[in-house]
Amino acid sequence: MRRLRSPGSSWGSSGTELLPPGHRVGKWLVGEPIGAGGWATVYAGKAAGPGQGPEVALKVMPTAGLAPRQASTVAQAARREVELGTRAGHPRLVRLLDYVVLDEPERPSLDGAIVLVMERAAGSLRDRIDAGVTEAEGGRLIAGICEGLAHLHRSGWVHADLKPENVLVGADGEVRLSDFGLATELTGTHGHAAPMGTLDYLPPERWRAPLGELGVQVRPSADVWALGLVIHEVFASGAPLFPGATPMARGAAVQEYAAGRAPLRMDGGVPEFWRALAADCLAPTHEARAAHTAESLLRRIAAERGGGPASERPQRRHRAGLLAVAACGAAAAALWLPAGGTIAAGPPGGAPEVPVPVRVFNAERACQDRSDRDPRCSLGLAVDPGRPYTAGNVVPARVWHSDVLEADCALAHGQPVIDESDFQSTLWYRVRLPGGAARASAWLPAVRTKDHPALPDCPDRSRSEKRRP
């Protein structure tokens, strides 16, 4: 998305009439346009009436005049942004404040447009790269990106368009992932999306992925590939890793590397630790890359930096700072959270007052339509999430696809589990055993459910539970 320095014309870059300053959208007042792209125009904005509060960004996504398929694409992109903004809140994701559908019959090009209202930010990672970053600052930024990706993947989503323009940076160096218009929800181990995205950040497998009825297959390892490219850009002053004068030429270079016909040539300015981390992110196949999850990468970064992720360290609360806007990326809007603010994932510590239901998911399609509870389709619940998920570490009670269990807390860093479709996660849920079994609770790996409940962290158990069934 290009920035608009002044309103100039009364038309946006996509041929859509611009809203005039002072125009009211729901409970918000429109300011000057600050960015435009193929799908949206972004305006400065503020709440109408007294006690206006901080300024916001208004992302206007018109649908009038589009072909039905194009209008559907815009509507689906807006729906994904709303879903993530309302369901997957996290300090490393930008926050959605409101959304409005315009009723503007006197402006036919804007009538029915979708408006997303978000908090504003200081700038993008691209801005920071262009200005130059130190190794320490770069490490802090990348750690923040990893935290956001880890949360997205645990919540069952793939960003699918990670790039410096879609990472927002505050004056304090904290980051937020933005622009979820292409985000893809996982169905077990992968999701499906339209064959779209920024060519320079597509993994090798996407260049030759078959297009089915549901689109192309998207998995978390695609975000990990893009992260490797972002790491290189952060420490190489923005220099692209793969050579070529155009995105298509650089895509051809990616394919040469993936086929083993060209080496991975990183810029000499990339420090050794980050060079190794980026190389793992840039493993040429999904299978090789799947072992390097955002969570495992985050642990390596935390160990290198000598502490836990920023969001796990105590933070002082400050008043919400008013931040300037950076509106970049394919229809990206700049938004932010109050400095030092947090979004609670659930009640602090312990178990919630009422357990949260989670539905069991079996990735084996042959088992999903069966109702006979065939033992061959049963799934085990672990005794100890810190030990290998094998036959010797499961409780006697079994569960089946679509069974509903009650979960009371989550453990983020248990034993890694890979399901039948190569999706890996270290997240576990503590669940109550069904059927009145003698043992009060057991552990369900997150790869065995499509639900992603907001739960408190489980109490520290030193990864070991001494009792046996």
pLDDT at 348 over 50: no
| 403-444 confidence digits (pLDDT tens) | 999 999 999 888 887 765 556 678 899 999 876 544 578 999
Lowest model confidence (mean pLDDT) among 75-79, 201-205, 385-389, 459-463: 459-463
Query: Do the beta carbons of residue 114 and residue 74 sit within 8 Å?
Result: yes
**251 confidence band (pLDDT: 50, 70, 90):** very high
Q: 63: Cβ–Cβ under 8 A, 6 or more apart, which residues?
A: 71, 74, 75, 112, 113, 114
| Greater model confidence, 304 or 342 | 304
Calpha distance 158→149 (Å, rounded)? 8
Residue 421, pLDDT score: 55
The residue-averaged pLDDT of 77-103 equals 77
Q: Name residue 404's beta-bridge partners.
A: 359
Nearest to 80 by CA among 160, 14, 1: 160
Mean pLDDT of the chain: 78
Question: pLDDT value at position 459?
Answer: 80
The confidence band for 323, taking pLDDT boundaries of 50, 70 and 90, is very low
Tokens of residue 427, six digits = 């997240």
pLDDT at residue 460 in the model: 63
Give the pLDDT band of residue 88 (cuts 50, 70, 90).
Answer: low
Which pLDDT belongs to residue 277?
A: 97
Q: Is 175 exposed, middle or buried (0-12, 13-18, 19+ CB in 10 A)?
A: buried
Nearest CA among 44, 115, 125 for reference residue 81: 115
Q: Are 363 and 188 in contact (CB under 8 A)?
A: yes
User: Do you know the residue count of the chain?
Assistant: 469
Res 86 pLDDT > 80: no
What mean pLDDT comes out for the span 306-312? 49
Q: Which long-range contacts (CB under 8 A, 24 or more apart) does 210-218 make?
A: 216/192, 217/190, 217/191, 217/192, 218/158, 218/160, 218/184, 218/190, 218/191, 218/192, 218/193
> DSSP H helical segments within 247-395, as ranges?
247-258, 272-281, 286-289, 294-305, 365-368
Which stretch of 16-30, 211-225, 333-347 has the lowest confidence by average pLDDT?
333-347
Between 138 and 343, name the one with better pLDDT: 138
Q: Supply the angle between the helices 220-235 and 272-281 in degrees, to the nearest 10.
A: 150
Q: What is the mean pLDDT of residues 39-44?
A: 83
Query: Residue 52 — very low, low, confident or very high, per pLDDT cuts 50/70/90?
Result: low
Does 49 score more than 80 pLDDT?
no
For 140-184, write each residue's pLDDT tens digit: 999 999 999 999 998 888 999 999 999 988 666 789 898 888 888
- Contact assessment for residue 413 and residue 460, using Cβ atoms and an 8 Å cutoff: no
- C-alpha 205/C-alpha 193 separation (Å) is 14
- Per-residue pLDDT of 178-237, as tens digits, reads 888 888 888 767 777 677 778 999 999 988 877 666 677 889 999 999 999 999 999 999
Neighbouring residues of 223: CB distance < 8 A, sequence distance ≥ 6: 149, 152, 153, 158, 159, 160, 162, 294
288 torsion bin: left (phi>0), alpha (psi -120 to 50), beta (else):
alpha
Compute φ and ψ for 192, nearest 5 degrees: -130, 145
CA distance 283 to 268: 19
- pLDDT value at position 67? 67
Q: At CA 90, angle to CA 406 and CA 186, rounded to 5?
A: 60
In the chain the domains, ranked by start, together with CATH numbers, are 24-119 (3.30.200.20), 123-312 (1.10.510.10), 356-448 (no CATH)
Listed in sequence order, the residues at least 6 apart from 61 whose beta carbon sits closer than 8 Å to its beta carbon are: 39, 40, 74, 77, 78, 113, 114, 115, 116, 331
Look at residue 324 and tell me whether its pLDDT is greater than 50.
no
pLDDT of residue 38: 63
Longest dimension (CA), the chain: 72
Rounded to whole angstroms, the Cα distance separating 227 from 110 reads: 36
Report the pLDDT value the prediction gives residue 322, as an integer from 0 to 100.
24
Which of these ranges, 29-33, 294-298, 334-338, has the smallest mean pLDDT?
334-338
The string of pLDDT tens digits covering residues 349-395 is 344 457 889 999 887 777 887 888 888 788 889 999 988 777 778 88
Measured at the alpha carbon of residue 256, what is the angle toward residues 251 and 261, in degrees to the nearest 5?
165
φ/ψ region of 373 (left if φ > 0, alpha if ψ in -120 to 50, else beta) reads left
Banded model confidence at residue 330, pLDDT cuts 50, 70, 90: very low
Residue 464's pLDDT band, with cuts at 50, 70 and 90, is very low
